[in-house]
Structure 1
């Protein structure tokens, strides 16, 4: 795949940004009192945020790989 250098760099930066920013957010969500109910079971708050972070990180990793592959092409 051929992309201009600037676009490839944008993809790499966007992928790295996603992989750097989301893990600390998820750690804060796990520590949030809304994450567990009185019995210690995960709440909808935790499940929704976990899926949001997981999906974002998968897309971020894919973006990073695409950016690196276009730089190498």
Structure 2
């Protein structure tokens, strides 16, 4: 069961590390990301926070997966 838990945590970490950076590139190119003066809008800020939290969860999942394997 511990191996299954570790595998699930590693899959979660890998998914987050693969998906969210790509999503960020798309959001950053979106016309709603910056106003006419070139400053970041709330649209961009909210998505950056969302992506940062998801990547932090990915790191936590990887650490928990390692901890599950180690014992």
User: Same fold, TM exceeding 0.5?
Assistant: yes
Query: TM-score if structure 2 supplies the norm length?
Result: 0.92
State the Cα RMSD in Å. 1.1
- Matches of residues 36-47 of structure 1 in structure 2 within 5 Å? 36-47=34-45
Report the CA distance between 1:72 and its aligned residue: 2.5
Query: TM-score if structure 1 supplies the norm length?
Result: 0.90
Could you list the runs of 5+ residues in structure 1 that have no partner in the other structure? Answer: none
Report the CA distance between 1:71 and its aligned residue: 1.3
Equivalent pairs counted in the alignment come to: 71
After superposition, the C-alpha distances for 1:49-69 in whole angstroms (9 at most, x for unaligned) are 000000110011111111022
Report the CA distance between 1:70 and its aligned residue: 1.3
